[in-house]
Chain A
Amino acid sequence: MLEVKNLSKVFRLYTVGDKTIEGFRDVSLSVKTGEFLGISGPSGAGKSSLLKCIYRTYIPTGGEIWYHSAKGGCVNLATLPDYEVAILREREIGYVSQFLNVIPRIPVVDVVAEPLIRMGIDTREARLEAVKVLERLLVSSALFDIYPATMSGGERQRVNIARAVIGCPRLLLLDEPTASLDKRSMAAVIDLLKNIKEKETTMIGIFHDPLIIDGLSDRVFRMTD
């Protein structure tokens, strides 16, 4: 489903005297449909940068990212036109980071339901589905109608996850999505991830906790400095 070939990312920073910083170099890996690939490695190894390149928040400076899309055949995410990447993000590729880019002043249920509504699903149905996912992630129903901005870090993170999984993406990129969760809600998240894996969502995940990596991944890709 995904094949990364000799991928590199170098940042060139002009505002601090034209400096270059290496994100990662010459990474090759492949992920099969329905597989969960864990990514491990020391801080600064380039794990987050790699995921961001796949999601195209970063533009790789070398190499290729071949993705078998549901409709359009095989595309290179490193060079695909922005607008087509935007469509893939809406329909097929999800991303959850440690930090929620909160959409302000929209109630939690609507934040989570939005991807479904954009796919053309009826608003009522989408909200019902959102409630289900939020309940699975143990988000208290008292919070459904409030704005994410006022929620705790752990609650927000689960809203973030709920929003990313609700549309059943074909490929889900996870960058330490459990970083600020307590044991109980972490277990709920892991349970949900295992469940969507059975539904053939392919996942690439960075987790600090070796127990989580071992519990979820079919394989682990190690990055070094």
Chain B
Amino acid sequence: MAPVLKLKNITRLFGKGCPSCLESTGPDADTNVCSHCGTVVACACVSLDLYHDEILGIMGESGSGKSTLLKTLHFDIAVSSGEIYFENCADINLLTMSPFEKRRIRNFEMGIVYQNPHLGLKMEVSSGGNVAEKLLMAGWKNIDKTRKRSRSLLRETEFPVGRMDEPPKNLSGGEQQRVQIARALSSNPKVLFLDEMTTGLDLSVQARILDMLRSLQKRFHVSMIVVSHDLGVIRLLAQRTAVMKYGRVVELGLTDQILEDPRHPYTQLLVNSEL
């Protein structure tokens, strides 16, 4: 079966770059900073497929390039090199498309929940307005319908809808993440990117958000990439998991295999340290 989203050799450098950047960084070099030119190799040669109805996990330590990868997929930041293919336009590398086309794909087919809610939400605008904004970008015109849909999405994410006119800055971290999720799901996207969406929330809130997400995934049939350094989150949500270190994917497999029979030394270290 063809994947929904196909990444080929996604690479992103921060810095001027030199011919030695790739070979002088990575797990073997034990750094993501090029010793020749000081460039940060945030992700390099990442190739992954995301399939229908699938939740793909990405784990790895701080700085391994997880957020950078998601941001390139959502066209928030440019790649240094690499290709992205999407099933609805299967033979065209999305990264060669015009800004207009990219925006269209992002607005209609993608949703993202950022690690930092300040990136995903306008903190001064009402919560309902934050959800409605994405709907407007996806072509919704009728204000009344937009408001109704925003309300129903916020209800789906178990947001206290009585507070939908309040701005996110008044809300708790868990409530802000629910607004982000409602916003991300609003255009009925094919793919959803979730970056540490429960990190920093207290455990019972985390648990409820994860359960809510599992059931939404089943109902909306949306494919997801879930980034987390929490093995519990990955175990609960992801069928397959990629492990990143210094910008590279060092191991990719079924989640239970990654956790019970990790083969890369780094994955073993990561899994053992959580036991």
Contacts and interface: CB of A to CB of B under 8 A. Distances in A.
Interface stretch (A53-61, A184-192, A205-213): A53-61
B261 A83 contact: no
A57 B272 contact: no
B54 A83 contact: yes
Nearest to A114: B218
A118 interface: yes
B270 to A, nearest CB: 10
A74 interface: no
Nearest to B264: A14
Contacts of A11: 261
A12 B263 CA distance: 7
A15 B54 CA distance: 31
B136 interface: no
B272 A52 contact: no
B51 interface: yes
Interface in B42-62: 49, 51, 54
Interface in A36-77: 52, 56-59
Interface stretch (A103-111, A156-164, A174-182, A193-201): A103-111
A57 B211 contact: no
A117 B219 CA distance: 10
Contact of B236 (A59, A83, A103): A103
Contact of A83 (B51, B208, B272): B51
A11 B265 CA distance: 12
A212 B118 CA distance: 59
A142 interface: no
A31 interface: no
A15 B256 contact: no
B263 A83 contact: no
A14 B236 contact: no
A29 interface: no
B260 A86 contact: no
A122 interface: no
Given A13-B268, A59-B253, A106-B211, A52 B260 contact: yes
B77 interface: no
Contacts of A82: 240, 252-254, 257
Nearest to A11: B261
B269 interface: yes
B240 A83 contact: yes
B236 A15 contact: no
Contacts of A105: 207-208, 211
A108 to B, nearest CB: 15
Given A15-B272, A86-B240, A106-B211, A57 B256 contact: yes
Given A117-B218, A118-B218, A59 B257 contact: yes
Interface string B112-147: 000000000000000000000000000000000000
B240 A58 contact: no
B260 to A, nearest CB: 5
Given A15-B269, A86-B254, A59 B207 contact: no
Interface string B235-247: 1100110000000
Nearest to A49: B261
A27 interface: no
A57 B268 contact: no
A143 interface: no
Nearest to A13: B268
Interface of A: 11-15, 52, 56-59, 82-83, 85-87, 101, 103-106, 117-118
Given A52-B261, A86-B254, 17 more contacts: A14-B265, A14-B268, A15-B265, A15-B272, A52-B260, A57-B256, A57-B261, A58-B261, A59-B257, A59-B263, A82-B240, A82-B254, A83-B51, A87-B1, A104-B207, A104-B211, A117-B218
